[in-house]
C-alpha cells in the first residue's frame, strides 16, 4: 500500500520533469535569434527600441529555388517632409551574412515601397526594419521554406 | 559596360507617384562559393546603387551578396519637374555603370 501510494507521485514527478525538459528543448531554439542577426540589427538601430508593425514584407511562403526570390517591402507612411520613412533594412537568419539590402529614402519617394530579388540559403526567417523620420524603428518578420537553397552549387562551376 | 534595362514612364503629371524599375546584368558573385578545385571564388558584387533626379539624390541602396544575380530594384518617386533621372551602380573590382533617362512632367 505504501509503495502504491508513493509510486504514482514519483511517476508524476518524473513525467512532469521530462515534459518540462522537452518543452524547454523545443521552445528555446525557436525563440533565440542567432547572434549574428541580433548584432547586425543592433548595428543599425543602436540602443533604440524596435516595435512590430508598420512595415510589411511580401515573400512567397514556399520557394523552390533560393537563388532568386522576389521580395517586396512596403511601409505604411504618408511620406510627407514631416513624417516619412528614412531607411529600410532587410536581414536574414541563416545566410552566410545577415544583411540583404539597406535602402535610404526620403519624402521625394512618394511611396515607401521597394522590390528586388534576393538569395536565401536555407529555410529561415527574414526580418525587415524601417526607420521613420521621428527616429522610431518598426519591424516585420516572415518565415520562408526553401526547397533548394542558394550557395549550394559549389561543384557546378 | 554592363547591360541595363530601365523602365520609367516618359510622361507624367506633376505630383504623380511614378514607379522606376531597374535591372543590370552582373554576376553578383557572393565570395562564399568554392570552385571545383576547392579555391574560394573572390567576391564580386555591386554594392551601391544611387538614383538622382535632376542632380538631387532621391534613392540609395546598399547591396550585399544576398542580392540575386542581375540586380533588379523597383522603387517610387514623385514626378516634380521635367528633366533627367540618372542611375549609378558601383561595386567590387572597380565596377561602375551609369544610365540616364529623360522624363517630361506636365
ipTM of the complex: 0.92
Instruction: Please report, for chain B, the start and end positions of each structural domain, with discontinuous segments joined by +.
Output: 4-105
Average the pLDDT over B44-54 and give the result: 96
- Domain shared by A136 and A76, yes or no: yes
CATH of the domain at A78: 2.60.40.2470
Pairwise CA distance, residues A14 & B15, whole Å: 70
* Total tally of structural domains belonging to chain A: 2
- Domain shared by A151 and A99, yes or no: yes
Instruction: Determine the structural domain holding residue A57 and report its residue range.
Output: 35-156
- Domain shared by A63 and A137, yes or no: yes
Whether A113 and B78 lie within 8 Å, measured CB to CB: no
- Domain shared by A18 and A91, yes or no: no
pLDDT for the residue A18 = 59
With CA atoms as reference, the chain B residue closest to A67 would be: B68
pLDDT tier at A16, thresholds 50, 70, 90 = low
pTM: 0.82
Q: Residue A59 corresponds to which cell in the numbers above? A: 515573400
CATH number of B4-105: 2.60.40.10
Length of chain B in terms of residues written: 106
Give the A-side interface with B, CB within 8 Å: 67-69, 72, 92, 95-97, 99-106, 108-111, 113-120, 150-151, 153-155, 157
- Domain shared by A45 and A86, yes or no: yes
Whether B30 and A96 lie within 8 Å, measured CB to CB: yes
SS3 B40: strand
pLDDT for the residue A148 = 86
Using an 8 Å CB-CB cutoff, list chain B residues near A99: 64, 66
- Domain shared by A47 and A26, yes or no: no
- What residues form DSSP beta bridges with B85? B53, B101
How does pLDDT run across B71-100, given as a tens digit for each residue?
Answer: 999 999 999 999 999 999 999 999 999 999
Amino acid at each position: 500500500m505504501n509503495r502504491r501510494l508513493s509510486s504514482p507521485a514519483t511517476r508524476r514527478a518524473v513525467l512532469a520533469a521530462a515534459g518540462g525538459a522537452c518543452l524547454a528543448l523545443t521552445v528555446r531554439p525557436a525563440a533565440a535569434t542567432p547572434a549574428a542577426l541580433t548584432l547586425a540589427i543592433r548595428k543599425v538601430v543602436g540602443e533604440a527600441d524596435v516595435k512590430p508593425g508598420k512595415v510589411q514584407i511580401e515573400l512567397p511562403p514556399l520557394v523552390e529555388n533560393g537563388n532568386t526570390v522576389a521580395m517586396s517591402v512596403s511601409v505604411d507612411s504618408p511620406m510627407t517632409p514631416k513624417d516619412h520613412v528614412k531607411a529600410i533594412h532587410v536581414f536574414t537568419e541563416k545566410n552566410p551574412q545577415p544583411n540583404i539590402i539597406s535602402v535610404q529614402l526620403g519624402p521625394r519617394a512618394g511611396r515607401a515601397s521597394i522590390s528586388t530579388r534576393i538569395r536565401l540559403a536555407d529555410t529561415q526567417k527574414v526580418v525587415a526594419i524601417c526607420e521613420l523620420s521621428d527616429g522610431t524603428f518598426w519591424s516585420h518578420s516572415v518565415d520562408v521554406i526553401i526547397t533548394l537553397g542558394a550557395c549550394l552549387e559549389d561543384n557546378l562551376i | 559596360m554592363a547591360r541595363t534595362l530601365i523602365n520609367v514612364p516618359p510622361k507624367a503629371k506633376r505630383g504623380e507617384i511614378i514607379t522606376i524599375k531597374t535591372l543590370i546584368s552582373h554576376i553578383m558573385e557572393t565570395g562564399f562559393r568554392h570552385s571545383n578545385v576547392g579555391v574560394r571564388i573572390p567576391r564580386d558584387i555591386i554594392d551601391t546603387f544611387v538614383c538622382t533626379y535632376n542632380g538631387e539624390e532621391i534613392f540609395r541602396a546598399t547591396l550585399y551578396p544576398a542580392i540575386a544575380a542581375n540586380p533588379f530594384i523597383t522603387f517610387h518617386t514623385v514626378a516634380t519637374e521635367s528633366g533627367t533621372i540618372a542611375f549609378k551602380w558601383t561595386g567590387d573590382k572597380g565596377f561602375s555603370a551609369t544610365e540616364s533617362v529623360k522624363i517630361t512632367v506636365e
